[in-house]
A and B are shown apart, each in its own frame.
Chain A
């Protein structure tokens, strides 16, 4: 029997389940295959099987499978999870309900605080205290646990979370409670906060443990069912699960820390951008992902995504959400996607988003009952999306309805003629501006000059707006991957096993502190190695980061720790790099000492898959892919006759110039006048804004 040679990734989204297939036997430049099928709640495994069928694959040919899922975010947002009982340190059972007391929607006196996931009678306490140095101030007293367990059982508790004060520095008490619970009630799942995070702040850690316990049974059931179903269909190798940190984990590890897979789709898109960038020699990247409801962006430096733990579920400008101290790729998300609804308020101001028409009824042009004009309608009306390519050619757009809806916007803005175009242009400009603000937030606002970055645009709408955004920001080059429409799945397929470990520490940056840092990193590395061992002989590779700050400040910057930093007199170099970075971001330096407040270890274990190989470049002549011309309105740059190209017919080496629109691969690539396009060996479109490719 032939060795299985396909590597596949499946990404379950709200509407579609995406598939990306690499054929390792195909040699240089072999095409990545993609497919889409409908997502099938509540039996999500059906959609996965469907999409594999649709691509005509047999699971017996599959050597590896990476899976991304929205199961966690859905369970949390819909509050469909386990009934959780919580055990805390005496005096702190209300920590979960008190939260931090903040009210982001501060003029709104009707603000409603998010209600706790565990009601008060299921929040119980045990005596015993540790100090912030990890010493015991008062011994742990577990004699009350049996009656707590009885009460929990009587109340139908299905999972238990434990969070005790100062377990970030010393988990002994938590571990003891977990073990005792295991003895008293072996059937119940218990999550101790220190198993998930070693960062301080008791509310956030309690919330993390509770959310984890809440979704753990759901995730376990989901992943077991998926693995069983795929196994039945012939998949031999275990499925790996995409996490929110841009890496994958085994099913066992994902189940142990279930909230860590909460943002798997968005994170893998950003990870994919970093990987693609490295592949083509672009290590500093502004990644832009525009979908149906939101746009997301992230800054990638030196080929690395930034991973942080300040995530909060359901957070918005008006609500604090529920924090989870799990590693998530640092990205900014705004309510601006293709389905975002445009409206003119009573005072003549045009707004786009955050309300979305979603997939149903969708934009007006879908003809499925949507009445409110969306960004997609505007793009269609301006010729930026072709009528024959609308929704991948699956929908014949209702142009008249779109025109009528857009004309209302135009008239409300004061236009007396050509009002649909005025409205559509306004929508595109406002949508672009919203995205510019998000892109500035991850770049300019952190002291980064966007001109030093290349933009990689993906998602259904990324390539439609990318060139205009790049122009505004001074970005010189835009890259649109061939798999832009299913790029999250592509990102999954090029992911390694990865663990991000964070710990709060309190060290001066002196020789003693450096030694302590070194010791703690070694402990973390040992624990990561143990966790990640997959039976093979390969060892993980590590990157170490320290979170540093000026003594007295709260905000810290994460700086990579190099091997020389922790040897004698080496810490000065680490401090200097902090001081330089701080000045870049905040315009000044202080005459104050530097201290370490956190450690971050990144452990990766390569998947062993060979990176894709580029195809040889053919001739630049692109007429073979040229399909015609049409008038396209570029909003700020007016209307031009644009060349049209079929994305699937573009071959490596081909080149052409804007104004142009590239269609046919599930997304429309809008190339503004003056920009030059070439197709690289991976079939990415490389768009150079200064016209020289």
Chain B
């Protein structure tokens, strides 16, 4: 029997398909295990509850071999860091077993903003690097001009924290003391930074150990073949789904809250998903630029959601994507443009592309959601313990209706995933403030045949004597968009209700304002957009909404023509 005739061994592969698949499932498990390890040991709630982090396995060349659970925005980030490390460091100084690298500079593989530190570790087998394990996480304070590092006042990246270029932080298992000393000295919260970095290190070590075990059993060559074939599989899944999408060039231009006009053109053909962002504003001195690498994130996410929304994603998945940007623009800025609030441009871009494609594929994409991180940063001194606290939270909001049903209420934005809100009981104990209410937003908006989901109303009552608040809400001027004749949703905003005189200030963006005990920060997040003419809504559902106090009887009559009393 020749090799070709053997059903298991074929000349084109060096292992049988089942073995390859077993290795591929190990890649996935390794990424998931890293995710769990990080979540369990992180110091900051933005990592362990908000899950502002991602994990993945890269192949020897730095391509994404598998990604872990968590937040979809970080799935396609780690390969950039891996490649920069391979190009800049590994060439001159070959990695040793036990090495660990860091990078955070968005212009050098860090992708997002300086708070996000990427940690990368080589995996060895047969004396060579066969893979890398990597993760990224939001570190609470990395220096810069304001607590928490990102500042609305920053005009250059130098003001947003310590820039970490690709650097070896652990050499053959031995921590490079100078690196850690430098990082900690530059942080306002050195203990937290240290704890979080070690959680990241523990995670890459966990993944590397797991993969080395796989290589020991099957050999480095078979392992590498499995990585390569897995990416080919990812590509096949994408291309098969791409074939089912409507073809053509779709374009949309939209003004966002800050007055900038964003533009996207998406060309879908049989073998390419081309996104053209060249016709967009010049980079700005405000910290809402995003690097080209970061602009790729929402492109990848939306592509994945409209092609194969399963949980498997790797480098191959995204091969059909082409992204065009213009150097010097907000989506491809030149140094030293600031980007601390990168997500306030990333989400509008994601939403813009979503809306652009929703017109073409309403069965896959519902109406607009509240589409904002609604970043809420509150800090101060815990009045009972005397310790500093720092809340860095995204907010829940309403999602748009879909072609078949009402939208989800109170979910995190589309760039979040397995992200959790902070329970009031935990918030009150941990941060020394009161959460006076956390309820659904019953403002009008989002009415339609299928109604948008509800945003939330949340009130933080400050107890700290030296409180400070930064609130960054988008989609405050333009409410979430509706589809097919429904009504738009309602806007995101926040109010500061001052202690004493009860004076109310309404904002969408405030940076670093002082708060007094008794001040109430009131968060209101938008209801999602509706789908379809409100007159076509099932009257029974309208009556249920009235009964549930989500809709007034007057509005039920006015918008739906339903007399709820009947």
Contacts and interface: CB of A to CB of B under 8 A. Distances in A.
Interface of A: 90-95, 97-113, 119-121, 129, 131-133, 137, 165-166, 168, 200-204, 317-318, 346-350, 410, 413-419, 422, 425-426, 429-430, 433-434, 437, 440-441, 444-445, 506, 550, 552-555, 586-588, 590, 592
Given A94-B438, A107-B72, A109-B309, A552 B191 contact: yes
B425 A418 contact: no
Nearest to A111: B408
A531 B518 CA distance: 43
Nearest to B358: A109
B140 to A, nearest CB: 10
B158 interface: no
Contacts of A102: 412, 417-420
28 contacts: A90-B437, A91-B436, A94-B456, A98-B410, A98-B440, A101-B396, A101-B412, A106-B418, A107-B313, A108-B305, A110-B366, A110-B402, A201-B425, A201-B426, A347-B236, A414-B10, A416-B5, A426-B18, A430-B22, A437-B25, A553-B43, A554-B42, A555-B40, A555-B48, A586-B41, A587-B206, A588-B201, A590-B194
Nearest to B429: A132
Given A201-B426, A445-B33, A586-B40, A418 B7 contact: yes
B202 A588 contact: yes
B190 to A, nearest CB: 11
B172 interface: no
Interface in B306-354: 309-311, 313
B405 interface: yes
Range for the number of chain B residues in contact with chain A: 35 or more
Contacts of A445: 33, 36-37, 206
A550 B195 contact: yes
A588 B417 contact: no
A490 to B, nearest CB: 32
B39 interface: yes
A592 B417 contact: no
Residue among A103, A108, A346 with max Cβ neighbours from chain B (10 Å): A103
B206 A590 contact: no
Contacts of A587: 201-202, 205-206
A414 to B, nearest CB: 6
Contacts of A99: 410
Given A107-B311, A426-B18, A552-B191, A202 B366 contact: no
Contact of B45 (A111, A415, A554): A554
Given A94-B438, A433-B25, 10 more contacts: A97-B410, A106-B72, A107-B311, A109-B414, A110-B402, A349-B233, A418-B7, A445-B36, A586-B202, A587-B202
A444 B45 CA distance: 26
B225 to A, nearest CB: 15
B527 interface: no
B405 A112 contact: yes
A200 B233 CA distance: 44
Interface in B413-439: 414, 416-421, 423-426, 428-429, 434, 436-439
B6 to A, nearest CB: 9
Contacts of A200: 423, 425-426, 429
Nearest to B550: A120
Contacts of A555: 39-42, 48
B29 interface: yes
B407 to A, nearest CB: 9
B37 A132 contact: no
Contact of A120 (B17, B40, B426, B548): B548
A414 B426 contact: no
B17 A554 contact: no
Contacts of A592: 191, 195
Contacts of B423: 200-204
Interface string B433-449: 01011111000000000
B250 interface: no
B286 interface: no
Contacts of A95: 438
B408 A113 contact: yes
A677 B484 CA distance: 70
Contact of B233 (A92, A119, A347, A433): A347
B549 interface: yes
Contacts of A590: 194-195, 198
Contact of A105 (B201, B311, B384): B311
Contacts of B550: 120
Q: Which 4 A-B pairs have CB atoms at the shortest separation, nearest pair first? A: A106-B417, A91-B437, A415-B7, A120-B548
Contacts of B269: none
A348 B7 contact: no
A561 to B, nearest CB: 21
A466 to B, nearest CB: 18
Contacts of A168: 425
B426 A444 contact: no
A416 B7 contact: yes
A350 B405 CA distance: 34
A121 B366 contact: no
Nearest to B416: A103
B198 A588 contact: yes
Contacts of A104: 69, 417-418
Contacts of A120: 440, 548-550
A216 B176 CA distance: 59
B240 interface: yes
B301 interface: yes
B311 A317 contact: yes
Contacts of A415: 7-8
B210 interface: yes
A157 to B, nearest CB: 14
Contact of B22 (A107, A433, A586): A433
A556 B538 CA distance: 49
Contacts of B414: 109
Contact of B17 (A121, A414, A419, A440): A414
B421 A350 contact: no
Contact of A92 (B5, B10, B408, B437): B437
Interface in B500-534: none
B42 A553 contact: yes
A92 B457 CA distance: 11
Nearest to A95: B438
A226 B206 CA distance: 50
Contacts of A437: 25-26, 29
Nearest to A418: B7
Contacts of B48: 553-555
B438 A92 contact: yes
B2 to A, nearest CB: 12
B237 interface: yes
B284 interface: no
Given A108-B305, A110-B402, A554-B49, A98 B409 contact: yes
A587 B210 CA distance: 13
B136 interface: no
Contact of B411 (A113, A131, A553): A113
Contact of A101 (B7, B206, B419): B419
Interface string B294-305: 000000010011
Contact of B301 (A107, A110, A166, A202): A107
B216 to A, nearest CB: 12
Contact of A108 (B40, B236, B309, B438): B309
Nearest to A203: B423
Given A107-B304, A552-B195, A94 B240 contact: no
B192 interface: yes
Task: Pick the most buried of A100, A418, A506: most chain B CB atoms within 10 A of its CB.
Answer: A100
A203 B384 CA distance: 25
B195 A91 contact: no
